[in-house]
Structure formats: C-alpha cells, structure tokens
Structure 1
Amino acid sequence: MMKSPTILAVGGAYIDRRGQVSGAFVPAASNPGTMREAVGGAVFNALRSAVRRGVSGSLLSVRGGDVLADTVSRAIHAAGIADLSAVFLDRATPSNTMLVDGDGALIVGLADMALYDLALAKQIRRAKVREAISTADAILCDANLPSAALERLVALAAGKPVFALAVSPAKAARLAPMLGSLALVFMNRREAIALADVGIGAAEQDIIDGLRRADLKGGVVTADDGPVLGFDEVGAFSILPPAPGKVSDSAGDALGGATVAALLNGLTLRAALREGVAVAMLASEGMGRAPAFTAASFAEALTLVPEAQDLA
C-alpha cells in the first residue's frame, strides 16, 4: 500500500469566537445576539481539510495552561493530527473574537495572540520539530508566525515545498521577505493586493503580475464573490465557484488544505485547485471551517466545479 504524503503544519490553533448581533448594531450599548465558540486557526483549519483528503498531518503550535488549552488539544486529536505543540502553563491560550452585524459584516475583532510572537520561533529549534521537518514531505504554515520563525522554518525545510496562508493583510507582510522560497501562498484579494503592492481596484492580471514581481512562484487568490485565481510557472487561470459563488476567509483555509493535499498526491495546480474549491463549497454551505465531508459528498461537490479557464 502506498504511503500517504505527510505534512508538518506550523502556526495558529486557537479559540475562535464569533458573536452576531440580532437586529441593528447599537454602538456603546449592550446588543442582543449569539456567540459561538470553536477551535480555529488558519493552519489548523487547512490541515484538517488536508487530512480529510488523504494526507498524514502533524501540528506545531503553542497554547496556554488554561481550560481552553484542553479544548484545543481535544480538537487536534479528534482530527487525527499528531500534536507537537508546546504548553505554557503561565500563559493564556490564544484566541480570536469577532463581532459581526446581522448581515455578517465585521464590526470589530480582537486577536489575543501574543504567545505566538513570544514562543513560536523558539519552538522551531526543538530537536523533535527539526526531526518532523526532516521526515515531512511538505511544510504548511500561516502568517501567525513572526518573521523570525518563518525564516527559520523555510531554512530548515531545505528545499522541501513550503505552503503558506496569508491570514490577514497586516500579517501577510511577514511573508514578503521569503516569497521566493515559498511553493505557493493562499491569499484573499486584500492580502494579495498588499503583497503585490498594487491599488485596491487592480485587475486580476495586475495582481498576479505584482505577485510575480515580488518573486512569488505560485499563488491562489480568493474573493468573497468572484472567481478564484491561480498561477504558477505554467500560467495563470481562474475558477468560478458555482452559486452562491462565495469563498469566505474560513472556507479559504479549507480550500488551501484540500489544494495542498491534491498537489502532494500528484495533481497539477489547476486540477488541485478544483478540489480545493469543492471543499470550500462544503465549508461555505454551513459544514464548518473544516467540513466533515464524505467521499460521496466531496465527489458530488467536485462535479459542480467548472474547469479552470486561462486568464485573458
């Protein structure tokens, strides 16, 4: 039996809270609404989808010594992922809290993630982590890592493919010094514009040209209500997700993980990204940031995804 590809993921695995206001938002007042809590993090969301698509995964993150750390730990193990994370008993587990209005538009977000900046770079020096890097077929990381940690990770990868998730326009800047060493970066349009150094209204080809000028060999750019763009050294193309055609940021994480799994299983970027879009559809349909799809539901979703089209 053929051995499944292995991924070492490094980055965020934290408590994700999403509060939604019922009715009109009233500033500086108590607003009725709902709050949901789950374990998230760009690289963890992506790795869960990759594992569901047939790869073996291990995760290096950091968390605190509180009860929330147990929630994160259980979620990692439940996903069938080997946990290489470090626990800091005197620290709080990182979290991201978002408050959105009745239509889902962001009102405010609060990211309590100082532990990543404090501790992740040192963790990459651990012998156990260096061994995991040496035995993995690929590295998957997110820009929750500070720049020093990203640079060390790329250096230790020693030529193995490193896939990255941009996370946010501000954090995407951490990837800029090493874009030439990355195999593929997953971005939304805002993050791509920041890395490409182009205007907010830039055309699709202008964004790709800017990313190439920044030394990026391959990338995937999602948009809330537009086509998913892909490019590599072969060419540039787009895939239009079927109705409702929306790939949210959380669904973008799932897209990234499924795409990486398909690439490691030998598909071209065009074919791999179709699989990623299919998984993003399942995530966008309410099945979660890392949807628990079956082979049958995935196959059905994939039949709805059109073939990639060359950019004009």
Structure 2
Amino acid sequence: MAGEHSDESPGGGIRSWLKKPVVWLGGIVVAALGIAITNALVPWFGGLIDRATERGDVVTVVDAQPYRSDEVGGTVAFPPDRSFDEADLAQINASDDRFAYLVDAGASPVGRAFVRILLEGNRSDGVRIVDAGIDRDCAEPLDGSLFVEPPGGAEESIRLDFDLDADDPVATTEGGDGQPAQFFPAQTISLAEDEQVPLIVTAATTEQSCEFRVRFTVLHGDDETSVLVPDAAEPPFRVTAQIDERAYDSVFLGGVACGGGDFVRASDEYFATGIEPACQG
C-alpha cells in the first residue's frame, strides 16, 4: 500500500544485511569476554568459597609440653605448701620421667623453662607467623622443695628465647656472633595447609616466679589473629628463679648431683660442705 515502508525494499534489505553481521560479531565478542571473565573469576570464587568454609584457628596447636633440656637439666622447685615424705620420694624415683612427674605435680623449672610446641597450618592458602610474645603473671621466687638435677650435656636447637625479667619480653634467637638477636620481624615462619613446624620456646628469669603463655601473631591474607599457647582453658607454663639452696624448705639431690642415681634428701653435711654422703660411693 502507498505510504507503507518495507525492509524488503532494496534499500531496506541492504540495511538489514549490514546490521546482522554487527549483531553476530557483537555476540561472539560478548560470549568470549564472558568466558574470559568467568575463567579469571574461578580461582577468586574458589578461594572465597575455601575461606568461607574453613573452620577453626588459622594455626592448630598439635602439641605443647615442657620438657627436660640437656642444656639446663631438670632442676625444679615447689611452692612452700607442698612437702614430700619418703613414700612420695619413692614414687618420684620410680617414675619413667621424673621431670615430667614433678612438673605435673606442680613444680616449676628453675632458671629457664623449655617448651616444645608443634604448630600446624590450617588454611588452604597458607599463613605466616609474624610475631611472638609472652603473657605472664609473676611473683616472688618459689622457696619450697627443690629437686636438683643438673644438666648432663649441651643442647643446640633453633628456638625462641624470652627474658621474663625484661620490661617487654621479645622473642630472640642466637645470632651469627653468638649473641641474642631479635627473631621477628626480620624472620617469619610460613605454614602451608597441614604443614607442621616444631618450635622450642624458652622463658628465663633470675628474679621471680612466673606463669606464662606464648602468644603467636598469625597473618592470613590481610587478617591478623592471635593464637595463645596454651589457651586460657589449659594450665599455663611455669618457671622460677634459682635462689640460695639454704633458703628452700627442703632440698633433694638426683641425677649427676647424686652419682647419677635417684633423688635423696640433702643432709646438714651437704649444706655445710657441699658434699652429700648418701651420694658418695
């Protein structure tokens, strides 16, 4: 009909044909971009899903135990409200691990406490331990019963040492010159998922008696968290300063202090001469 327009006209047909390749090409470009964008986002979404579904602390504490070090021996002290009779002494001497027995009974290592801590990474994209500190509660040195078991050799280990008498204890390790060097932030500890790292932490005092926990600062991506060892639900680690042996309520000598044998109660002669007759022969 007159006045009607149709794309079937020569001019309209050309215009329609010209439009179709543009639409077709645009569809290919959009589809290609969609695939590229999707492929680029897959790892991101995967990581997001992993982070959303992962549970628990970024670092798992597999084990944390005080132990007898060959460097300082197994000398321990008790508060004054704990006494020992001959039956108690027999039980101590009969135990497979006298140091562990005494610590479990409430003793504090004297001078320096050694702790083995086993940590495990708990994130698929890994974490880093970037710092370590000490939470402490200190009082006067213990002066109850002293169990003397000197060291029998030397021990060399990579470890984190803390001076509890310092105003702000920081983790140190032995430097190349043999002197203490601050461990963090010059060094960090990386942990992949399920990777384990054993650490030796020591805490020393010459002035006081302390309960303490180790606080690790852990970086996961941009998030920083703290992991307390042992946690608040568990008993803390302990250490006490060495004082004059005559100031203790009682002293027991064992190991190399008594011919390599069992603990015996120190006699008056020991305090007068430094020699215990029961440990001779």
TM-score by length of 1: 0.23
Greater Cα radius of gyration, structure 1 or 2: 2
Higher strand share: 2
